[in-house]
A and B are shown apart, each in its own frame.
Chain A
Amino acid sequence: MEKTLTFTDNGKEYKLTFNRKSVIATENMGFNVTEVYKKPVYSLTLLWRGAFLANHSTLTIEEVDEILERIDKTGLLDALIDLYKAPVESLFEVDEKNVVKWTMN
């Protein structure tokens, strides 16, 4: 199953995710993964808009930005980057037997 970021706003449930087409569309909007931490606010806005394309493409950009203004942004950028990376990562073979696990304290 694909990764999703879910929340409810004004009684409506949103499931944000990226498919490959919305990744390309986000790139076309000007998002560059190498500049995420140089331009975090700009990147967050583009990622946020892009994450709506897969499941909520009927929303206007104003509606999407308005939700972004109100949402809790703690950890949001990293979560969106995770969503954004997933369609690319799924193309690469991972040798599950020999994978090196890591933890963060």
Chain B
Amino acid sequence: MDDELTAISSSNGMQVGGVGSTAETPDTCRSIFDKAFPTYLAMGMTYDEFYNKDHTLAIAYRKAFDMKRDQANSDMWLQGVYVYEAIARVAPLLVPFAKHPKAEPYLEKPFPIRKVNSEPTGKEAAESNAVNDKGMAYMFAQMMKINSKFGEV
């Protein structure tokens, strides 16, 4: 890289040397770049992109890297949820001395992770409404029962 940089400046007749001309000198821009480069290399940035292209690419690479890490974190969390769900469904089999234990089957569908997947359609929506109505009726019955107790006192 030294030779390449020397070639750039000397090809234009520019003098090379002076303060900050060695890689060992601390606090030069070169030392900052050389320290940072492996990090950006690990993020997928090439040598050409880092040294020769638009320097703002580094910001985009950093943001993209953060997004990838967030995504990986979410994926691992989701996997944990599936494992938890699976264990919960076979939990009845693990109860000692239980008579006729029965495990629930594994989830028929994956959990919806996008909004477009999460909206129930047709039969699912009707089932969901039926469950809600049943819940409301139960709640109402409970309220009436409690109110009637207070009425007796």
Chain A positions near chain B (C-beta within 8 angstroms)? 1-2, 18-25, 27-33, 35, 49, 52-54, 57, 59-62, 64, 86-88, 90-91, 93
Contact = CB atoms under 8 A, between A and B. Distances in A.
Contacts, number: 100
A90 B58 contact: yes
A90 B36 CA distance: 11
A98 B52 CA distance: 31
A32 B19 CA distance: 6
B51 to A, nearest CB: 4
A53 B14 CA distance: 11
What's the dominant secondary structure at chain A's contact region?
A: helix
B5 A28 contact: yes
5 contacts: A19-B52, A21-B52, A53-B8, A61-B12, A61-B14
A93 B36 CA distance: 12
Given A19-B52, A20-B55, A30 B21 contact: yes
Nearest to B18: A30
Contacts of A23: 29-30, 33
B17 interface: yes
B9 A53 contact: yes
B93 to A, nearest CB: 49
B69 interface: no
